Amino acid sequence: MRAVSFSTLIVDPYRAGLALGESLAALSPEVVFLFSSKHFSNPELLEGLYDALERDDVIVVGNSGDGFYETVGASDYGASVLGLNSGGKVRWQLEQIAGLDVDLDRKFEQMMDRLSATGEAPCLGFLVSDFRVEGGRIDALLRKWVGFPTVGGLATDDHRQVCCALYVNREVTSDALFFLAAYGDLRFTIALENTQRAVGRAGLVEISDATEIHRIDGRSAIAFVERETGKPLLHTDRGVLSVQVSDPEAPDEKRLRAIFEDFSEHSGSIHLFGGIDQGHSVQICLASPEDMVAKVQQVAENEYARGRRPVAALIVSCSGRKALLGTLIEHEISALTRIFSPDLPLAGFPSAGEIGPLRRGNAYTRNLFHNMTYVLLLIED
């Protein structure tokens, strides 16, 4: 496997795409991951990219996010690419569905049928959806239909969640979802960082409605949070407070849900970025920038100690982490370049929700939807 990444801050979308494509042309990539700030969500970006590559058969996938990541660092504005060439050892298949508010379950099932039509199961998936699909629905679809490791996230804008763009070959779209499947001899490792300091006792979710949680442990959701933290729930707690979710059927599959800032003080309910089912348990967690930086560094060190020597990396990290970390967000990139190589080809985006399995020994759990999580895909030779 060979890989190249590049980023640009060129303002004109066509010229930006041209610069990105020129950086990859010598690689002759089979697939290109493209991530950008919302300002670049223009078909001219793709036109410039394809013009420079001078090939129509290249698969291009990606999306807008709250900025982008690349080897040289993180940026609020611009675009990055990661190109891969396996020398024909990996087969790639791209599928998409649109109109996500109509028959999503049926469309998703049909999409997965197309991805397994040859009888060969994918070894890895990359999934990106418009952020307007509630994370709990994505979680349910993954659990029901996707039996192989999959990473990805929700496309978004500059942390306001007003609009987003998905890049699917030459098309810029929204209200859509795409799935890139890889088949064949692809070596990879998925690692997540979603540990935060737990506060107080776990409570049982008794009444919930999608992303709105009404009662926990016999009291209003807000009262539960305030009982466990010992202080009032404030709008400034967004990004600092989250809940760790535990499914009674799979208690080891811990995942985070961030608390939305528009919680309902009059009703005592809280809103989360992603639903929780009744009967699940939750525990309040506090995010610390210093701990987050140290734990991402530990992820990189652990993978190096396991003998991982990646040729490329792809990062999907919560935009809430970016908001909390500020300039420290650079550590989510430098943790990798310090450990593996300062020139490690790398790209990614700050997302409105993350997708990835947890690792359990030499295997992975079911694919899960997360918040406030750092998802790392290392692609090896």
pLDDT at res. 160: 79
Q: What's the rounded Cα separation, in Å, for the pair 28 and 60?
A: 13
DSSP class of residue 269 equals: B
Three-state DSSP state, 27:
helix
pLDDT at res. 266: 67
- Judged against a pLDDT cut of 90, whether residue 148 lies above it is answered with yes
Tokens representing 336 are 């990798």
pLDDT at res. 273: 86
Q: What's the rounded Cα separation, in Å, for the pair 87 and 30?
A: 8
pLDDT at res. 261: 64
Task: Give the pLDDT mean for 196-224.
Answer: 92
Three-state DSSP state, 49:
helix
pLDDT at res. 262: 61
pLDDT at res. 376: 98
pLDDT at res. 241: 87
pLDDT at res. 274: 86
C-beta neighbour count of 337 within 10 angstroms: 17
Tokens representing 72 are 């040289």
pLDDT at res. 368: 95
- Bridge-based pairing state of the strands 2-8 and 79-85: antiparallel
The identity of residue 328, as a single letter, is L
- Using pLDDT thresholds of 50, 70 and 90, give the confidence band for residue 301: very high
Task: Give the pLDDT mean for 354-381.
Answer: 94
pLDDT at res. 263: 64
**Per-chain mean pLDDT for the chain:** 94
pLDDT at res. 210: 83
User: Are 92 and 31 contacting, i.e. CB atoms less than 8 angstroms apart?
Assistant: yes
pLDDT at res. 264: 61
For the ranges 8-17, 155-164, 266-275, the maximum mean pLDDT occurs at 8-17
Task: Give the pLDDT mean for 348-352.
Answer: 97
User: Are 151 and 319 contacting, i.e. CB atoms less than 8 angstroms apart?
Assistant: no
DSSP class of residue 86 equals: -
pLDDT at res. 356: 97
Task: Give the pLDDT mean for 217-240.
Answer: 86
Task: Give the pLDDT mean for 309-325.
Answer: 96
- Using pLDDT thresholds of 50, 70 and 90, give the confidence band for residue 251: confident
